[in-house]
A and B are shown apart, each in its own frame.
Chain A
Amino acid sequence: MKQGDWVKVHPLVVRVCHWVNAFAVLMMITSGWQIYNASPLFGFVFPDAITLGGWLAGGIQWHFAAMWLLAANGLVYVAYGIVSGHFRRRLLPISPGAVFRDVANAFRGKLAHEDLTVYNAAQRAAYLALIVALCVLVASGLVIWKPVQLHWLGRFMGDYEGARLLHFFAMSAVALIVLVHVLMVVLVPRTFPSMFTGRVRRSA
């Protein structure tokens, strides 16, 4: 393959799921902040300007509507990732040493992005962590929604109040990963159109 050739990086399923997920997560997090503000777990509230729904009932309506989108899209993505081998090919193998090395490189501004067809170890760790954090969010969210019907699931996370804390921390993890992700796209802008077209031009 010659330099300058167009190469495929993101399959259509991944691109569609990515944007649906981005929309659903944005709805879930901003409406979740609205719900949080009704009874804050910690000594702060989220500014009204970045919450969704106007008041508690609106926040809950958005949250419990967007959850279907998040869950349905997540199921399609995870099923595709496992069955097609996408996860195995793109996110594995991963080792703590490689992650540490790439994160250190990133802070020195030397993270390898020449070949966009391969995720570096820092990316693999971030994307895997995002998938895990979203799964934890869904599981803890289900326990908060149905603490009696899903009491068996709540037992793994300190029941209702434990699930509330876990839900908050998993949200924090997702928000942090998304923030870093968006920052990296700003720093390496040619990755952005590829999430629409699916292709990148192999650079020199």
Chain B
Amino acid sequence: MKKMGERFLLHRTPKVANLERRLFLRQGLSVGALALLSGCAISDDESVQKALSAMSNWNDRVQGWLFDPSRLAPEFPESAITKPFPFNAYYGIDEVIDVDGGGYKLQLAGRIREKKPWTLPELYALPQVSQVTRHICVEGWSAIGKWSGVRFSDFLQRVGADLSAKYVGFNCADDYYSSIDMATALHPQTVLAFRYADELLPPKYGFPMKLRIPTKLGFKNPKHITEIFVSDTNPGGYWEDKGYNWFSGS
């Protein structure tokens, strides 16, 4: 597991990202030449990139149709939990931020009726649920963990979020950002998690809170959340804007 975390870093430093995008385009060109061979004319690499983005958007729609809001992700006994649970982020474990819990307030914005910020004791006082589920990384590896917190649909209802809106977006203390579809936000296993393995979330797992979504790939589970907003325009995300499929649902 540790080795995979290291590979992740190797791939994702911001400096490398630009180079990777260039490589992506260059390889598109050679495939364009190959496509010509089979009689399917692709004129230049930019049109290849456009076609791939269009297909990714199409796949978002298909996944929205395939998503059954009442189908539950498999749950496991606690004995199945992966130890140690791998750390993963767009930065190294040495750069994990330490959010000050005492001064912390969760901000709410967009199509939400009661936008009063929430302190941690207020959030901890809400009814809590637990789950032992499989976290699947976009890289392919998976690990089983236990998260506890507030059922996200309960929280959205409590603050008067417009549940007919299309998207819920997240901004995070580590400058990460992401967004999900409303159907997934309202899924019974989507949890605003404050605890991992019955302990307060340690910084490396996203203190003070992580949105745990067992029906999405790992990168769609934002950590260190500071703001939640509801919107009808797609807010995108850190990895999503770099090319990962937006819906990325399981």
Which residues of A pack against B, CB within 8 Å?
Answer: 19-20, 22-23, 26-27, 35-36, 38-39, 41, 52-58, 60-62, 64-65, 68, 146-149, 151, 159-161, 164
B80 to chain A, nearest CB (A): 11
Q: Is the beta-carbon distance between B141 and A39 smaller than 8 angstroms?
A: yes
CA distance A77 to B66 in the complex (A): 25
CA distance A164 to B21 in the complex (A): 27
Q: How many A-B residue pairs have CB under 8 A?
A: 105
* Given A54-B28, A58-B28, A64-B55, 7 other A-B residues pairs in contact with their CB atoms under 8 A: A19-B38, A41-B140, A57-B24, A62-B31, A64-B59, A65-B55, A147-B250
Contacts of B34 in A (CB 8 A): 23, 26
Q: Is B120 an interface residue (CB 8 A)?
A: no
Q: Is the beta-carbon distance between A52 and B140 smaller than 8 angstroms?
A: no
Main secondary structure of the interface of A (DSSP, over half): helix
Our pick among B7, B38, B53, B66 for the contact of A23 (Cβ within 8 Å) is: B38
Contacts of A41 in B (CB 8 A): 140
Smallest CB-CB A-B distances: 4 pairs: A54-B24, A57-B243, A54-B23, A65-B55
Q: Which residue of A lies closest to B22 (CB)?
A: A54
Q: Which of B67-75, B96-104, B121-129 contacts A (4 or more CB under 8 A)?
A: B67-75
Our pick among B55, B136, B139 for the contact of A160 (Cβ within 8 Å) is: B136
Q: Is B245 an interface residue (CB 8 A)?
A: yes
Q: Is B134 an interface residue (CB 8 A)?
A: yes
Contacts of B21 in A (CB 8 A): 54
Contacts of B214 in A (CB 8 A): 148
Q: Given that A148-B214, A160-B142 are known contacts, is A39 also in contact with B244, CB under 8 Å in the complex?
A: no
Q: Is the beta-carbon distance between A39 and B245 smaller than 8 angstroms?
A: no
Contacts of A149 in B (CB 8 A): 66-68, 71, 249-250
Q: Is the beta-carbon distance between B25 and A159 smaller than 8 angstroms?
A: no
Q: Is the beta-carbon distance between A36 and B140 smaller than 8 angstroms?
A: yes
Cross-chain pairs A/B with CB under 8 angstroms, 8 sampled? A38-B139, A54-B22, A54-B24, A54-B27, A62-B52, A64-B59, A65-B55, A147-B134
